[in-house]
Amino acid sequence: MKIICNTQTLCEVCQNVQKAVSTKTSIPAIEGILLKAVDNELILTGYDLEVGINTSIEAKVEKAGSIIINAKILCDILRKLPGESVIIEADERQLCVIRCGEVEYKLVGFTADEYPELPTVSGGLPIIVECDILKDMIRQTIFAVAVNDSKIVHTGLKFEITRGKIKIIAVDGFRLAIRTENIKYSGEDISFIVPAKTLSEVTKLMENNDVVSMNVGKRHIIFEIGNYCIISRLLEGEFLDYNTAIPKSLSTEVKANVKLLTDSIERTSLLITDRLKSPLRCIFEDNIIKISTVTALGMANDKVFAQIEGERVEIGFNNRFLLDALKACDVEDVTIKLNGPISPITIEPTNNEDESFLFLVLPVRLKNEN
């Protein structure tokens, strides 16, 4: 194999492909990036047996061929090369030579035969979504994904796609996040669960692209974004029946300004640290939300004016969970629905006909409660 290509372009795509490369494995080949030179392009693949990224760039191919090169070493080298173009050459002994200006590296690679084959997905209509919309939906739900959960299925985001609508759900046992948008889709109803790690990488590749195409199989999904193809395994298992978790009744309804409430919670939370944890005490009454906390550092009190209808409620929250939900709201005002001090609250748009988001947060017991 022998190719000549733009150094900066190759460096950028290698950085992206490297995100799918395994760093802790007993298989040295998948610690590398597979380079395949064919026609007038260089095809690059990274795959850690769970997530794979595949793309290609223009290159002058003087000799077709392929080789696997350690991803970290390759990326480190490309970042430091001084010239605009780089020459990469490999022989039948898998000895790879990288030249750029006066710089030359000789690396020992692996034969392409050692690289695992990426899964394929066939059948079904592709699901086309605008990148900006999907990126926002993921950002506004991924915070509620379980990090350490006995049910692996909750470490992913659930997609529910019906005619004309896409819904993404995340849950971690303490909170729930749901985002809904309208899309152009006329296929069969479908649901699947994508690992949060995959979606984190997918969002990074959405920059400067208009749409993403999703092709869903029984066990894998393929995202096509610009010149990149990301393939991931799907998570299997029984996802929480989130509809039953959403309270069907309420005793108190609050309409509040998101920024004012967020700022107040952040001010009060200054006394809460990882070492000194304490719940936020929130009292909803007389069109005022009183927020306070007590830790070994001292006491903080604040209040926010809001429109409150219904019974007085005194309730405790994990400050971070409440902040995460409020920061995911992309509106000025929200409706907070409560049903006493021990039931979860929901945060929704103030317009009853708007179902674009719903965030649910479980309360924590306050010390003076029985």
**Distance between CA atoms of 145 and 140, rounded to whole angstroms?**
11
Q: What is the mean pLDDT of residues 66-78?
A: 97
Beta bridge partners of 52: 47, 231
pLDDT tier for residue 369 given thresholds of 50, 70 and 90: very low
Question: Can you give the residue ranges of every domain in the chain?
Answer: 2-114, 127-242, 246-361
Chain segment 104-130, per-residue pLDDT in tens: 999 999 999 999 999 988 877 789 999
Chain segment 281-290, per-residue pLDDT in tens: 999 999 999 9
**Distance between CA atoms of 66 and 44, rounded to whole angstroms?**
10
Task: Answer positive or negative: Cα dihedral of 368, 360, 283, 324.
Answer: positive
Give the model's pLDDT for residue 370. 38
Rounded to 5 degrees, what angle do the CA atoms 43, 135, 226 make? 25
Chain segment 257-309, per-residue pLDDT in tens: 999 999 999 999 999 988 888 999 999 999 999 999 999 999 999 999 999 99
Q: CATH fold of 246-361, please?
A: DNA Polymerase III; Chain A, domain 2 (3.10.150)
Domain 127-242 has CATH 3.10.150.10: yes
Same CATH fold assignment for domains 2-114 and 127-242: yes
What mean pLDDT, rounded, does the chain reach?
A: 94
Chain segment 35-56, per-residue pLDDT in tens: 999 999 999 999 999 999 999 9
pLDDT > 90: percent of the chain: 88
**Distance between CA atoms of 53 and 20, rounded to whole angstroms?**
6
Domain 2-114 has CATH 3.10.150.10: yes
